[in-house]
Amino acid sequence: MPSPSRTQVGIIGAGPAGLLLARLLKVHGVESVILEARSRDYVEGRVRAGVLEQGTVSLLEEAGVADRLHREGLIHDGVAIGHSGHPIRIDFKGLTGKHVVVYGQTEVTRDLIAARLAGDGAIVWEAADVVLHGITDDRPRLSWQAGGEHHELACDFIAGCDGFHGVSRQSIPPGALTTYERVYPFGWLGILADVPPCSHELIYARHPRGFALASMRSPTRSRYYVQCAVEENLDAWPDARIWEELKLRLGPAAAAHITTGPSIEKSVAPLRSFVAAPMRHGNLFLAGDAAHIVPPTGAKGLNLAASDVHYLCRALVAFYRTGSRDQLDRYSDTALARVWKAERFSWWMTTMLHRLHDEESFEAQMQRAELDYLASSRAAQTVLAENYVGLPF
């Protein structure tokens, strides 16, 4: 067995959370090694959403990886909430002075990988059978298999950034975590197509047939979603059916500007809200989807991962500069305070806009009343806007 290698922070997962943490640590003089179970091609090819809060953009700027984002990202000063065929525009800029940037998570990942491979440190691709050892000890270790050989890494801290199904959270002993979960009884059928968007801003629509969303990846690539059954058979949804359903649910104003075309990717994603607390066990710190999941309705997933990284990076840097563990000890409470606010917003957006009950039910009337109030109240629109553009870190 080879002798253990050594680093300051061992990071599990080369998604946006792990890559951004590694990059920011490097900027501040802290070394790390990243272990990733998948190949580079797989990681760079994952199709994900990408609505970035200004706080996330600022972190990417601090990390020195925002040049392409600023060239290609689409600035959105508002969003439309469709209601009874009449969209309500929420003016982010006018209500909060802020905006969001549409820039795909895939592109963020590629930018961060390029920076990492330019000299920041190692990424171990296709690291199999990762095991965490001694996470409550002063010197935790990671072991894995790669290239037919056993490897070990000694470190001061472990950052678990390996997603909902990763090994990090599963390595915390039973009873040490409390989990909170809401599984929604529907999914999103998503279609990606090389056609211009139907609107220059996102459109969220509530319709008696179910929710729909019009979004984009670029001025020539569109991403659309319709609410569907979790167990939906994709074969039952040829492109023509999806386009017709989108035109119906998004309403006539949007339908008049929808350009149809062949899909280049199609999938069904389940929706859930999930939180694991605390986000620390000994010298293991969870960040991103390893600790929490939000339904995509509020565009918070990537941004919550970024806020976790913000808090964890500051805590680690403070430790290496001063020896103080104060911020490390507060990490979970600090991160969870923001996580729960984002969970609330994502849950609220989801329950307000999706078909959850019969259209003649009391609950459906409450959804309509909520949207009517949103349409008539600047205060209600401000609440939505300040949550959507992102609460401060």
Q: Which of 16, 140, 295, 296 is catalytic?
A: 296
Q: Known catalytic residue: 300?
A: yes
- The pair phi, psi for residue 352, each rounded to 5°, is -80, -30
Contact predicate 161/15, CB 8 Å: yes
Q: Which of 204, 224, 225, 331 is catalytic?
A: 204
Nearest Cα residue to 311 out of 294, 289, 292, 286: 286
Q: What is the DSSP annotation of 98-167?
A: --EEE--HHHHHHHHHHHIIIII--EETT-EEEEEE-TTSSS-EEEEEETTEEEEEE-SEEEE-S-TTSH
Q: Which of 103, 224, 311, 388 is catalytic?
A: 388
Q: Which of 76, 83, 151, 281 is catalytic?
A: 76
Q: Please identify which residue in the block is written with the tokens 């939180």.
A: 275
3-class DSSP state of 352 = helix
Structure tokens at 234: 């994709």
Q: Known catalytic residue: 224?
A: no
Secondary structure of 223-253 as H, E, C letters? EEEEEECCCCCHHHCCHHHHHHHHHHHHCHH
Q: Which of 207, 300, 310, 354 is catalytic?
A: 300
Q: In one letter, which amino acid is 288?
A: G
- Give the CA-trace dihedral at 377, 382, 383, 386, to 10 degrees: 170
Q: Active-site residues: which are they? A: 76, 204, 296, 300, 388
